[in-house]
Amino acid sequence: MTTQAAGVLPSQQLRALIAQGALLGTPDILPDQVQPASLDLRLGTQAVRLRASFLPGKTRSVAERLSEFEMHRFDLGTGTVLEKGCVYVVELMERLALPQDIHAVTNAKSSTGRLDLLVRVITDQGVEFDRVGPGYSGPLYAEICPRSFSVLVRPGMRLNQIRLRRGQSLVSDADLTALHAKTPLVSDGPALISEGLGFSVGLRPSTGHLVGYRAKPHAGVIDLDRIGAYDPVDFWEELHTSTGQVILDPGAFYILVSRESVSIPPGYAAEMAPYLAMVGEFRVHYAGFFDPGFGYAAAGGAGAKGVLEVRCHEAPFVLEDGQIVGRLVYERMAEVPDALYGVGIASNYQGQGLKLAKHFRMN
């Protein structure tokens, strides 16, 4: 019996699992849902408004627990607004029948995070958000909480994604250091390697003083199907500085950018994670997977900036240019995907700098 390689499962192995019935969809999973190292998940037709977020616990299903927290349920129909500050659960069109040697993690897609749209997966007998245990068989549910903007959603929309793993896939700091020496992971500065690749905030742009955006507190509704349709001025305030510093306001949501340009080689994937809670009164939202090839082919291999989704907590906090705010945790792929990010597929953020979600017009 052939032992299959450990690591994150690439696109060709995801398609094999779909063919075997380990990944199922109603309707069937579409070919373009398969990404280099993940599978896009689709919203189903029914939503439930909750009075509070919850986890089902080790002995209960999501359906059993919904009655405790349900306020009302409704059909998404041809389009329904999910209101800012409210909590909803939508059963996804996909369900799993995983082999015992495969586990999974889910995360919001990049555009979802850039809208400050909190989307987390819960499963039957689940005790953590966004974690799916080995051999899980059952439905998947998306908990959705719009935090800055109300959004209009429809069945079939893809707000999050699932990444499947076999065995141990994390890259140690020693191996990450060796990889950087062979294939630079940071192209414009030193690599700070400690429990992943650290990255800092960039607040001294090469031209001008625009360093980010702050979400307006009373903006309109965003239709998630409308790409490049909205004027940023209606939803965002520009953030300028000539000092390399910005003061974060408690409760406000910001889009900033990393100082470093990073690269994900073809045999690896990465996930954005918080750095340390002790570095300040803010949180960098880790709303995305970084696929194999991200930044790798951009500008001749010069890397791509990481967009940072930042929320300040209880007290105003000064961020300074070059301050470490997060890290990329690298993982090995079980094999190199048959398609890389930005190479022959629609990749919205390859070679990016400071960039809002794809729904906004950018000059």
CATH number, position 181: 2.70.40.10
| 328 alpha carbon, distance to own chain's centre | 12
| Domain residue limits at 96 | 7-166
**Residues 181 and 325 reside in one and the same domain:** yes
Can you name the residues that pair with 28 across neighbouring β-strands? none
Asked if residue 358 is part of any domain, the answer here is no
Angle at 197 between CA 340 and CA 114, to 5 degrees: 65
Query: For residue 349, what pLDDT band results from cuts at 50, 70 and 90?
Result: very low
How far apart (Å, rounded) are the C-alpha atoms in residues 47 and 22? 25
Q: In total, how many domains does the chain have?
A: 2
Question: Is the domain of 122 the same as that of 21?
Answer: yes
Check whether 246 has a pLDDT greater than 60.
yes
Residue 220 lies in a domain: yes
The residue from 107, 141, 166 where one domain ends is 166
Residue 1 has what pLDDT? 39
Q: Closest Cα partner for 354 from 216, 242, 254, 251? A: 254
In this prediction, residue 247 carries a pLDDT of 94
Between CA 220 and CA 132 the distance in angstroms is: 35
Q: Phi/psi at 292 (nearest 5 deg)? A: -55, 130
Confirm whether 343 is domain-assigned.
no
Confidence tier at 331 by pLDDT (50, 70, 90): very high
Both structure tokens of 87: 């909590």
Is residue 157 domain-shared with residue 194, that is, in the same domain? Answer: no
N- to C-terminal Cα separation, the chain: 56
* Residue 286 pLDDT > 90: no
Same domain flag for 177 and 241: yes
Q: Look at residues 166, 199, 233 and tell me which one is the last residue of a structural domain.
A: 166
